[in-house]
Structure 1
């Protein structure tokens, strides 16, 4: 045994340098991924999809058919004030409701059927009492993401208010001398004729976390898979006798069972796949049974949950098998560091910088969140994110298998295996 005191290792510069570099880089990367993605979503916003519906039937004014709703929608669509931040999608009410119900719109602006008739009625000299203002309706969609819905609401409300002022400018000259005969309230309203009402375009149940339960549920699945991979990897190594296992003050060690890297990864992946059945079930029990989360399509939700945990776990096991001890840092960055800000559940993808939008194309949390969101909020519609979720999980599992078994097989062929070299048996003293 060495007579050196254990605390003397703190004098070793390599110990400080190595750990300082690793922890420093980790702190910097998490700051960049989390803060950088969300520091200015308004400035980075580009082509946020918002519906624009003109249900106005028009009205005859002075012997001429007028449709103020068409003027408004055309003006908003051609407006460059938004700088390309909003992608106005002109559609009818039915299509708008369908798109809101699939999470493809973050909001909508609806011009009502009586907009022209109600607006032009304000110019009538016979108007008595309190004039009735036409209403432009701004629809929100929290199910598509609270931040995205808020951004859409702000932009759409501003567009509606500007449109009302523009209509007021057009109507004021039409009143001519007759405008002076209008009641004072009508003259005031004529300058800004339309009221703006905000409504929920796709209402959610009360226990839906204002549209965030899908994200947190998906995050649980990914974290459970990732952390389970770390546990399973260590326990398989212990079962094979390659590492010891500390249980409090006790250190347990099993006899060595020689296994190649490929065999070890196969054993770990099989264990992960089997235990995913248990973990997926318990996640549902905890979220729905214990915490009361609103959910539908429970068999499909269970199947998707199990597969999401299995794919996340096997992907993490692959990185641990290929990179070894540093693999846990890689796993943390891939499944948490880069995944959370690019999931599109809090800040919409359209409000992220380009680099983060690129990451979102393949980051697992975004794909899983989309599938869970479809099941929980959009009646499990395939084109609301469910199909993409299944496809990307299949692609991820295939990529993990090819990369993991390809690299560990190469390690084995090159002699970089885990089988220890043969050692001579220890000599023992002969009995007296």
Structure 2
């Protein structure tokens, strides 16, 4: 005991300033990333892909060929009401169903095959039909509930606007038949089309309304990140660099001389081994215990193990290169910047430009795309799985090059972690 009161450190300005700056920066960054990315999704919406399907076969009316489906398609394409917020993609019904099943579309507007015939029936003097023709809005919750909601609002507005335009034409045409048309039919003329909403790519009941892929992926990333922190500390303890406090007990092992490269290699090897355990437990917990709907279980297991290993080794390299501040970088990269740019809660098309740029390389977005493909899209490669594998391979390669390159440089320059004899014997004084 040196007789000094430990509470003296509270009078050290540097202690307050250093900690204040760090936690202050973290508070600002988390606020900017989380709130900034989600504060105005509709305002930042840019080219959200939505299908536009004209299956209308047309009809004969007044001796002329009538194809209102083609008219609606042209009207929606030329509409400037939404600016560049919606990217209308004209396609066949089969193609729309295919892209909804790959998460490439957030919704679709479908003009059915009998639309023109049904509308023509309303203006026929001999017709007693009063049932409204329908335009179908398809949603896609598997692509994200918010994105699907934005697409639904846009397609519903387009359908209603088209119905009103057609209504004006029908009203003008019906003037000559005003006394002969059934009363109910005359009421329908002003707004002839009903809008029905259907799920374009139904999910199973235990799919979290399209969010299980995101939360499962987040678990994988957090497991890798936290495991890296645990493994790094335990390896340092096993090599004798740090103490290990277990409640009131402090354990300090004999020092084993290891270079920084060797330390990172040991940590990475343990991470690879434990990723097998963690990936298996995550899958067992999500599917076996919690009952999450999932197929392609062997592939999901392999993907889970790989994702944890890649995230864990990436975090270990940051800890090895930057030391104690490394955990702050890990938290920013894997949590602060990752969650808002994953494209799960808020679609990438509704993010500000800066966040869309971040999403191109943020690990959670890549992992979520692969998991979503496995869980919702029958493990199709072009539904996000291929990109997930490629980006994880690129991320792992960059992490290894950066981690082992930097630690090798430290070793060559003599920046070892082994304390000198003089440093061990020097008594540390508390600053005044």
Bin for the TM-score computed over the shorter chain: over 0.9
Superposition TM-score, scaled by structure 2 size: 0.97
Once the two structures are TM-superposed, the CA of residue 95 in structure 1 deviates from its matched residue by: 0.4
In the other structure, the counterpart of 2:238 is 239
Once the two structures are TM-superposed, the CA of residue 105 in structure 1 deviates from its matched residue by: 0.2
How far apart, in 2, do the equivalents of 1:263 and 1:357 lie?
A: 37
Secondary structure, counterpart of 2:340 in structure 1: helix
How far apart, in 2, do the equivalents of 1:425 and 1:391 lie?
A: 47
CA 1:214/1:191 → structure 2, altered by over 3 Å: closer, same or farther? same
How far apart, in 1, do the equivalents of 2:271 and 2:389 lie?
A: 19
Q: Is the 8 A contact 1:123 1:179 kept in 2?
A: no
Deviations 1:347-379 (A, max 9, x none): 000000000000000000000000000000000
Once the two structures are TM-superposed, the CA of residue 424 in structure 1 deviates from its matched residue by: 11
Once the two structures are TM-superposed, the CA of residue 54 in structure 1 deviates from its matched residue by: 0.3
In the other structure, the counterpart of 2:35 is 35
How far apart, in 2, do the equivalents of 1:239 and 1:391 lie?
A: 35
Q: Is the 8 A contact 1:335 1:365 kept in 2?
A: yes
Q: Note the 1:160-175 alignment, pairs <5 A.
A: 160-175=159-174
Secondary structure, counterpart of 1:89 in structure 2: strand
Once the two structures are TM-superposed, the CA of residue 422 in structure 1 deviates from its matched residue by: 4.5
Once the two structures are TM-superposed, the CA of residue 314 in structure 1 deviates from its matched residue by: 0.2
Q: Note the 1:369-388 alignment, pairs <5 A.
A: 369-388=368-387
In the other structure, the counterpart of 1:68 is 68
1:323 is aligned to 2:322: yes
* Higher deviation after alignment, 406-415 or 214-223: 406-415
In the other structure, the counterpart of 1:347 is 346
In the other structure, the counterpart of 1:429 is none
How far apart, in 2, do the equivalents of 1:220 and 1:232 lie?
A: 18
How far apart, in 2, do the equivalents of 1:153 and 1:179 lie?
A: 36
How far apart, in 1, do the equivalents of 2:178 and 2:222 lie?
A: 66
In the other structure, the counterpart of 2:429 is none
CA 1:190/1:274 → structure 2, altered by over 3 Å: closer, same or farther? same
How far apart, in 1, do the equivalents of 2:92 and 2:18 lie?
A: 61
Deviations 1:77-100 (A, max 9, x none): 111111110000000011000000
In the other structure, the counterpart of 1:365 is 364
1:276 is aligned to 2:275: yes
How far apart, in 1, do the equivalents of 2:387 and 2:176 lie?
A: 62
Q: Note the 1:33-182 alignment, pairs <5 A.
A: 33-128=33-128, 131-182=130-181
* Higher deviation after alignment, 176-185 or 84-93: 176-185
In the other structure, the counterpart of 1:10 is 10
Once the two structures are TM-superposed, the CA of residue 181 in structure 1 deviates from its matched residue by: 2.7
CA 1:424/1:58 → structure 2, altered by over 3 Å: closer, same or farther? closer
Once the two structures are TM-superposed, the CA of residue 425 in structure 1 deviates from its matched residue by: 11
How far apart, in 2, do the equivalents of 1:311 and 1:83 lie?
A: 41
Once the two structures are TM-superposed, the CA of residue 177 in structure 1 deviates from its matched residue by: 2.5
In the other structure, the counterpart of 1:212 is 211
How far apart, in 2, do the equivalents of 1:282 and 1:328 lie?
A: 25
1:187 is aligned to 2:186: yes
How far apart, in 1, do the equivalents of 2:108 and 2:173 lie?
A: 30
In the other structure, the counterpart of 1:406 is 405
Number of matched residues?
Answer: 425
Q: CA RMSD in A?
A: 1.2
